Structure 1
Amino acid sequence: MKQFLTFITILIVIVSFSTVGYAQKAAETKPAEQKSAEALSEGKIEIKVDKNQLSGGGKITITGKAPAGRDVYIEVWSEKTVRAARLDSDPDPRTGKRPYIFYMTDEMPGFYKLILPEKYKSVLEEEKAKGKKWSVSEIIKKSGADTVYGYPAKIKIDRYQTTLWASIIGSRGTKLEPMDEKENKRRSMQLLKARFRSIGAIFSSNLKIEENGSFKASVELPSNVAPGKYFVVAKVDKDIKSEPVVIENVVSFPNVYLPNAGRTVNIFWPFLLTLAITTFGVVMGAGGGFILNPVLVMLGLPHTVVAGSVMPTVLFSQATGIYNYSKIKFISWKLGITLGLAMAVGGFIGPKLTELITLEQYKFLFGWVLIILAALMFWQTTPKYLEKNKKEQAILKEFKKRAEEAAKKKSEGGK
């Protein structure tokens, strides 16, 4: 009897260990679908991309699965950041006063895209119909994306109470206290618009969601985006989101990344354009910057960076131009130094004013300057002007002749 009980006890122990081992093995070999279902039940989102590395931008297809019956949103942003700035000079609806507060951040992602479910395509179309008055905050509000708008909302934004006088003396103004989280988020949306300027550069609505929660979308990284890491996150709300998927974008020569512009450019094109434009500009007595500026802006570079980058190019062209013009005795140093002093003062004021104006204002002002210059130069080719110029030249010639004769007589009288 004792032996029988011992046998039963050993048998029970063996069966118990076998059951535990089988359960552990079964848990380890659960089908992927079952694991996915458990993850979704815990409020997690699965996400995949079709490629983890790009060369000079390209298209990425994003797939995944989220809790069924919920809207899904996808954020894509770059690791590299750029500066974004905006001057708030809009009248206050209550007081009518203009605040003149300058907002600036150096943490704006060089690339940012918020992909909305395709059912919100009409929201984007409605905002596009508003023209320049479209609003990032309105799109986010109407598409239900307020809780998933994440990365830009966290960037550090400085603000300054500015004045025209502050710009003249080379200051942004008085730095104000940091904003609270809600206000920082609102201002980040305005800076997004100031930086990227178009709805299509910030939003897309190609995210297809199935009834079971499966989703698919795509995003195009332009060829001029920055090298480095890009992060992709799918969200249902601020708590239910996927782990970031990292994509690496590689840029190779002759493409060169310009950090302060947040753009990659083929360096040969600016070189060839500058060579042609400077040759023409020096012939006209200029450095070519007045032609180079709008051309570079048309290539998609920020107007602030263009204005600053063209300055050293003018230095090079002017230096060689000065050397050659001095050899052929075409320089009036007194006039040149006088004009140079005025340009030094203007060069001090200009950069701060450039920082405060928008691209549209920059184009408007620059365009009118070019139109006025072109009109003056065209007027100087008209028959009326040429006839008037001939008379003036004849008068000057006669005056010079009489002056020389008077000087000659005076010299002879002295002898």
Structure 2
Amino acid sequence: MLQHHGKIVSSSLLLVFLLVAFSLPAIASDFTINLDRTEFDNGGTFTVTGKAPAGSRVFLEIWSEKQVRASYFDSKKDPQTGKIPYILYLSKEVPAYYQIILPADEKDKLQAIKAEGKKWSLSKALKDLGADVAYRAPSKIKIDAYKAGFLASVIGSRGKLLPPLDPKETRKRSMQLIKARFRDPDKIFCPALEISPDGSFKASVTLPKDSAPGRYYVVAVTDKGERSAPVYLENHLRFPSVYLSNAGTGINIFGPFLLALAITTFGVLMGAGGGFILNPLLVSLWPLPHTVVAGTVMPTVLFSQASGIYNYTRIKFINWKLGLSLGAAMVLGGFIGPKLTELITLEQFKFIFGWILLVLAGLMVWQTTPGYLERHKKEQAILKEFRRRAEEAAKARLAKEGGR
């Protein structure tokens, strides 16, 4: 009886072992991969060499251990139901850096994908390039899905949390998040792998400057799904470069500092903190997500506004009744805006922001035309009075300081 039970237990353990073994990616014993460098200071170029089974097509999957948040708002009409789902997909586990190195002969196909413009699809690109077998690391991330709505945004909510995604849906949505994070096919794919008939391969890979610090994983994958054991490299960032964890990138801190200094000086002259100028420039000059830029600029503008409020109060240019009414509206907008930034793409953000700036610029230029100035002489008289008061206040302050 005991012997019979022992056979059953042994058979069960063998079955479990086989199931686990077949569920894991195949790692070929004759599959090797090597790096000529494993330590980097703020990025650099390294060479990957190795040998795969003869006759195989090889891909390299590279990703960072550092993770970052990314979101994708599904606002496209479902072809089957004809309805717009309005679902926000959000993950905090998207690799800060991710790239698939392709065989060099895939260059033309990659160019064709780039020619599709903003409509390119990562899932289609992976299939066209034969690289879907290499796409593994992002497909394991945890993704939350929310049924979004305008009312939810007003009250500061992303919406109703939907049930967890199954593995197939997770893989599909992870591709949308990866595209939302990196946007350009060139940032995800690089046709740099030279493969010999005997299976040996070589690629020169560049880790961009200001890439996330920490460990990076490099795995070689064949078109048959065989995977090499991972190899590792370490990237370090040193001052003045600092890592922005919620942006998933490093940045030389002196650049934004000097930009903010110049813009704030100009912005305060216009009665603003300068955020409306700083915001689009930060997005354009550095690889920063628009959500992070919008959230970061908002509190930093308080510093310039605080000093501006102090000085404008001293020369009595502030009307507090008007200011408080405007402030109440801004409080309401402050609840709505942050959630809406998660529901739009960078391209939509630039389009909306660009048109707002163009309209404002047009209004300001129009207000300098002779016809407008002639019709608004009274306003000009008020402005002259303001200037006179400012000059008198400045003279009085200097006289008071000189008498001490």
User: So what's the TM-score if we normalise by structure 1?
Assistant: 0.83
**SS at structure 2 position matched to 1:114:** strand
Unaligned runs of 5+ in 1: 1-39, 398-415
**Rounded Cα–Cα distance in structure 2 between residues aligned with 1:149 and 1:369:** 39
Cα pair 1:43 1:240 within 8 Å, conserved: no
Give the counterpart of 2:329 among 333, 339, 342: 342
| 1:208 paired residue number | 194
The 5-angstrom pairing of residues 89-128 of structure 1 reads 89-128=75-114
Q: Is the 8 A contact 2:56 2:223 kept in 1?
A: no
Query: Which ranges of 4 or more aligned residues in structure 1 deviate by more than 3 Å?
Result: 40-44, 391-395
Q: Measured at CA, do residues 44 and 155 of structure 1 come closer, stay the same or move farther in structure 2, by a change above 3 Å?
A: farther
After superposition, the Cα gap between the structure-2 partners of 1:171 and 1:67, relative to the gap in structure 1 and judged at 3 Å, is: same
* Per-residue CA distance 1:60-110 (angstroms, 9 max, x = gap): 110000000111110110110001100000111122211111001000000
| 1:132 aligned residue (86, 110, 118) | 118
Give the equivalent residue in structure 2 for 1:291: 277
Return the match for 1:354 from 341, 351, 356: 341
Cα contact 1:41–1:67 (8 A) shared by 2: no
Change (3 A) 1:41 1:385: closer
Q: Which has the larger radius of gyration?
A: 1
**Could you tell me the percent identity over the aligned residues?**
62
- The one-letter code sitting in structure 1 at the alignment partner of 2:241 is N
User: In the superposition, relative to structure 1, how do residues 46 and 378 fare at CA in structure 2: closer, same or farther (>3 Å)?
Assistant: same
Q: What residue is the counterpart of 2:4 in the other structure? A: none
Matched, 1:191 2:177: yes
Task: Select the residue among 285, 308, 325 that pairs with 2:295.
Answer: 308
The yes-or-no answer on 1:255 pairing with 2:238 is no
8 Å Cα contact 1:43-1:67 kept in structure 2: no
1:339 and 1:78 map into 2 onto residues whose CA distance is: 45
Match for residue 143 of structure 2 among 157, 160, 183: 157
The 3-state SS of whatever aligns with 1:192 is helix
For the residues of structure 2 that align with 1:121 and 1:201, how far apart are their CA atoms?
Answer: 14
- What's the Cα RMSD here? 1.9
Which of 367, 385, 388 in structure 2 is aligned with 1:380?
367
Aligned residues: 358
Structure 1 pair 260–391 and aligned structure 2 pair: CA distance change class (3 A):
closer
Tell me which residue corresponds to 1:23: none
Between the aligned partners of 2:47 and 2:27, the Cα distance in structure 1 is 25
1:122 shift after superposition: 2.4
Using the TM superposition, name which of 114-123 and 267-276 deviates more. Answer: 114-123
After TM superposition, list the pairs within 5 Å mapping 1:171-190 onto structure 2: 171-190=157-176
Letter in 2 for 1:352: K
Give ranges in structure 2 of 5+ residues lacking alignment: 1-25, 385-404
Give the AA of the match of 1:172. R
1:61/1:217 contact within 8 Å kept: yes
Distance 1:260 1:86 in 2: 16
In 2, Cα distance between equivalents of 1:198 and 1:41: 31
